């Protein structure tokens, strides 16, 4: 049940599952943590050289 602090998403599950982290946000965290693996990506959305897709699940 949705409440003032926990509301239902207005986007579809497909959209949520295929939305990439904004590049500016990834860059900010990557500069501190130096990511080498994108654990939830598509071939088109991967932000690291090494990544897992839905088909190539960890």
CA gap 33, 3 in Å, rounded: 34
pLDDT digits (tens, 9 = 90+) for 5-51: 777 888 898 888 888 999 999 999 999 999 999 999 999 999 999 99
pTM: 0.71
CA gap 26, 43 in Å, rounded: 17
pLDDT of res. 2: 57
Question: Of 1, 41, 37, 38, which is closest to residue 17 (Cα–Cα)?
Answer: 41
Give the pair of three-digit tokens for residue 3. Answer: 């409440």
Distances (CA, A) of 46 to 17, 19, 26: 13, 11, 11
pLDDT of res. 5: 73
Residue ranges per structural domain of the chain: 22-58
């Amino acid at each position: 049940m949705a409440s003032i602090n926990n509301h239902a998403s207005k986007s579809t599950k497909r959209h949520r599952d295929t939305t990439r982290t904004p590049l500016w946000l990834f860059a900010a965290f990557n500069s501190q943590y130096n990511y080498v693996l994108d654990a939830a990506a598509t071939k088109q959305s991967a932000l690291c050289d090494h990544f897992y897709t839905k088909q190539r699940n960890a």
